[in-house]
Structure 1
Amino acid sequence: MKASAARAFGEPVDLPIVVGVDGSEPSMRAVEWAADEAALRGASLRLVYASLWERYEGASFAHDLGKPSEEVMAEDIVETAERRARQRQPGVKVTTDVLPEEAGYGLIRETHSALAMVLGCRGRSGVTEALLGSVSVTVAGHAHCPLIVVRGSHDNRSGARGRIVLGVSEKQAGLSAVRFAVEEALLREVPLEAVRAWRRPLHEPRAHPLIVGEPAHLQERQAAETVEEALRGTPAGLQVHRRTIEGFARDALLAVSREGDLLVVGARRRQGHFGLQLGRVAHGVLHHAACPVAVVPEPA
């Protein structure tokens, strides 16, 4: 099943996939990942670089080329990103833009008219690779479309694991994330692994009564029911694995992310706040997952 079979689960394909680039190698890996995604979806690719160079340099600082040095650098960045995208997926339509504005604000504005926003994960050492830059955190916290941070090993980024992982949230609270994960699994023709964590009460008695054929703990049974409800209406042709894991949701998803090509989680919008407010689980997996992470906005 390719794009035509999955479009019913997502946004119109005339919207582009937008990639925020900054010239770093992680952002170029994000370009390649997004190019593959655009090819799967039959979508176009928009590469943008945002910076406040115009405010600080202005026309009076023009050099021999007649442009501020930062503008020259910005154009070089997007041209390099465009070459990487075209080399990766020659059939994908690619456009570029340089935005003379603060990066976080510019990228958030781009999410209003994007199929998805894709960013790279900055960091060169084992410690810093676990951390996101401030721009990524800002965009993740206010995006109006799915925000994907491309992180993890080459195998996880290249689709070699052969599965999409979905973090299942509370009942009826994460349907947008479910639809996005289902669509990704259909597009890639891989199984979907739906994961829900559960925890037993601190003072649960040891001699808990058991009902034959049912989970030993009420919390485990409720977790299984939540997974089933979330997957209700899943296409019959999609292979789905259901998992309930005892422990904290963040830890469970981080462990499973090692075996995934993409980890999908939802994030709720809260009344009285601007944009998308990240919870602890979404924040944790964005910083530490072993594969690319998609944070999908959920309606209030």
Structure 2
Amino acid sequence: MTKALPIVVGVDGSEPSLRAVDWAADEAALRGIPLHLVYASLWEHYEGTSIAEDLAKPDEQVMAEDVVDNAARRARRRQPELDVSGEVLAEEPEYALVRESRSASMLVTGTRGRSGIAEALLGSVSLIVAGHAQCPMVVVRGNHDNQARTGTHGRVVVGVGEKPAGSAAVRFAFDEARRRGVQVDAVRAWRWPAHETTDHPLMSGEPARLHEQQAVETLDAALRDAPADVAARRRTVEGHTRPVLVDASRDADLLVVGAKRRPGHFGLQLGRVAHGVLHHSACPVVIVPEHA
């Protein structure tokens, strides 16, 4: 029997990474799959030289192993039946986590590492990994202490893009909502194109109706094959997509957005919407690769 792919969490001992461990432990227990903790660092040095000498290991490795062991104990305290493993990798975390994403069901990180001054913006490691991960990636946002809290809003929000048919993000949102026993809020933002005018008094309402109707049709296409056993709500909102989704995140347990992955393209594959919500969402964000 093939072993289920684990949820992989990037850890470094920081409070954001501990929140990520909590969230990932709950998610792994919900899915009934293993949790794998990864510490990756090529350059950081820590205290602990005397312990390292006794163990005949580099001091960096000793401290890294301690970080992983502490995170594993935390995960087991939260979910005692969970299958938890850990690993220390002597390489840049960006590369290590992207590679790990190729054999993971989900990749989870916190907002910033230990060197972060504040959590208002996303750390560079999480941002780079989000732009290259090959599996859904979660950045745990929403709390500013060292605890991850269970969802209380009863909804998973998914942003519906320009090409909704067969959207991996929409499928992920419905699968996740089913596991949690909550509803899906499918959100589509719409705006008037800049070149259109509403100066004529008889035409002032027509452009808005046309563009809103297009948004409604896009939502209908996205939810055409939605499973009948998950409650869904369609929402069309006038405005720019990023602030619309950030606003929706305030009443959500999870915000799901897609990110295109183009074969042969080596730059950061993260659109403006995904980039924006990663920085400003009020709840955990899932970036789901949309392969061309």
Q: Provide TM-score, normalisation by structure 2.
A: 0.89
2:265 aligned residue (259, 273, 289)? 273
2:24 is aligned to 34
Given the alignment of the two structures, is residue 293 of structure 1 paired with residue 258 of structure 2, yes or no? no
Matches of 1:248 and 1:13 in 2, distance apart?
42
Contact 1:13 1:41 in 2 (8 A): no
Contact 1:45 1:92 in 2 (8 A): yes
Matches of 2:105 and 2:266 in 1, distance apart?
20
Contact 2:259 2:289 in 1 (8 A): yes
* Post-superposition CA distance 1:50-70 (Å, at most 9, x none): 011599xxxxx9623211111
% identical equivalent positions: 62
Q: Sort the Cα spacing of 1:200 and 1:82 in 2 relative to 1 into closer, same or farther, 3 A.
A: same
Matches within 5 A, 1:47-126: 47-52=37-42, 63-122=53-112
Given the alignment of the two structures, is residue 208 of structure 1 paired with residue 198 of structure 2, yes or no? no
Matches of 1:275 and 1:38 in 2, distance apart?
31
2:241 aligned residue (242, 249, 252)? 249
Matches within 5 A, 1:187-206: 187-202=179-194, 203-205=196-198, 206=201
Contact 1:150 1:157 in 2 (8 A): no
Q: Post-superposition shift, 1:25?
A: 1.1
Q: Which amino acid aligns with 2:131?
A: G
Long gaps (5+) in structure 1: 1-11, 56-60
Moved more, 166-175 or 35-44: 166-175
* Post-superposition CA distance 1:234-278 (Å, at most 9, x none): 111211111000000001000000001100000012354127600
2:137 is aligned to 147
Moved more, 46-55 or 250-259: 46-55
Contact 1:173 1:298 in 2 (8 A): no
Matches of 2:43 and 2:62 in 1, distance apart?
10
* Post-superposition CA distance 1:194-221 (Å, at most 9, x none): 000000133333523879xxx9521100
Q: Post-superposition shift, 1:173?
A: 6.2
1:167 is aligned to 159
Higher helix share: 1
Q: Post-superposition shift, 1:91?
A: 1.2
Q: Post-superposition shift, 1:132?
A: 1.2
Q: Post-superposition shift, 1:156?
A: 8.5
Contact 1:168 1:195 in 2 (8 A): yes
Q: Sort the Cα spacing of 1:123 and 1:171 in 2 relative to 1 into closer, same or farther, 3 A.
A: same
Contact 2:128 2:268 in 1 (8 A): no
State the SS of the aligned residue for 2:266: coil
* Post-superposition CA distance 1:159-201 (Å, at most 9, x none): 0111100000013466100110001100000010000000013
2:231 is aligned to 239
* Equivalent residue pairs, number: 281
State the SS of the aligned residue for 1:128: coil
Contact 2:189 2:215 in 1 (8 A): yes
Q: Sort the Cα spacing of 1:246 and 1:174 in 2 relative to 1 into closer, same or farther, 3 A.
A: farther
Q: Sort the Cα spacing of 1:73 and 1:123 in 2 relative to 1 into closer, same or farther, 3 A.
A: closer
Q: Sort the Cα spacing of 1:173 and 1:70 in 2 relative to 1 into closer, same or farther, 3 A.
A: farther
Q: Which amino acid aligns with 1:28?
A: L
Given the alignment of the two structures, is residue 228 of structure 1 paired with residue 223 of structure 2, yes or no? no
* Post-superposition CA distance 1:53-95 (Å, at most 9, x none): 599xxxxx96232111110100000000001100111111011
1:9 is aligned to none
Q: Provide TM-score, normalisation by structure 1.
A: 0.87
State the SS of the aligned residue for 2:257: strand
Q: Sort the Cα spacing of 1:291 and 1:54 in 2 relative to 1 into closer, same or farther, 3 A.
A: closer
Q: Post-superposition shift, 1:27?
A: 0.4
Q: Sort the Cα spacing of 1:241 and 1:136 in 2 relative to 1 into closer, same or farther, 3 A.
A: same
